[in-house]
Structure 1
């Protein structure tokens, strides 16, 4: 499944029952959720707390391979490889941040797969 960040976020929000989604903000790579008068930014690709809440809301489990460079994320008992930390490596990067980014991306990708399946069932 190859999608842009906007598609990933919109499908992940659908899977988690997050609504209303007002719009996608490309500059901040996030969704505005709530009402026009009172909205918040939803940024699970950058924000650990949004990603963790998504993980909990969808009852996902997380496993790592022995070397720690692959994350397996998905519904309990059905976790599958979703992201490779090396995909996000950049020169001089903090290894902790690289792994955090890979895990956040894996969580959003797993949620987006559920959102896409929900969309296809209509």
Structure 2
């Protein structure tokens, strides 16, 4: 799935109306709270990602220097983990938030997504949860 497709699904989950797709990345969106079209790209903007996470009741967590996770607690969960292996923690958090939001945007109601199998992130998650 392309970044643009992820953004469109995340916008759907957040009940944003897409008014234009930007060739440089991102979308022009509007909502009831903000009816004038404005640029929106939570993959690149910390503030857009934070607003998206808050709007969708997400939490984010980090595991060591390798994993960022975004999840929606309490009820059906959209769960995404991004391996960043010591790189940009903010970019990893933004991507995890957008991935989880895209899962929510795929269906009328949120549903769990599958976790990646056998990755370094999975190993760290198991260690953090069990010890």
The question of a shared fold, defined as TM-score above 0.5 by the shorter chain, is answered with yes
- Unaligned stretches of 5+ residues in structure 1: 90-94
List aligned pairs for 1:28-47, cutoff 5 A.
Answer: 29-34=25-30, 38-47=36-45
On the 8 A contact 1:33/1:40 being kept in 2, the answer is yes
The TM-score with structure 2 as length reference comes to 0.70
- Unaligned stretches of 5+ residues in structure 2: 110-131
Matched, 1:102 2:101: no
On the 8 A contact 2:6/2:98 being kept in 1, the answer is yes
Matched, 1:17 2:15: yes
Q: CA deviation at 1:82?
A: 2.2
On the 8 A contact 2:68/2:81 being kept in 1, the answer is yes
Moved over 6 A (4+): none
On the 8 A contact 1:85/1:102 being kept in 2, the answer is yes
On the 8 A contact 1:61/1:79 being kept in 2, the answer is no
Greater share of helix: 1
List aligned pairs for 1:55-70, cutoff 5 A.
Answer: 55-65=53-63, 67-70=64-67
Q: Tell me which residue corresponds to 1:84.
A: 83
Q: CA deviation at 1:79?
A: 6.4
- Computed over aligned residues only, the root mean square deviation of the Cα atoms, in angstroms, reads 2.3
Q: Tell me which residue corresponds to 1:72.
A: 69
- Count of aligned pairs between the two proteins: 104
Matched, 1:51 2:49: yes
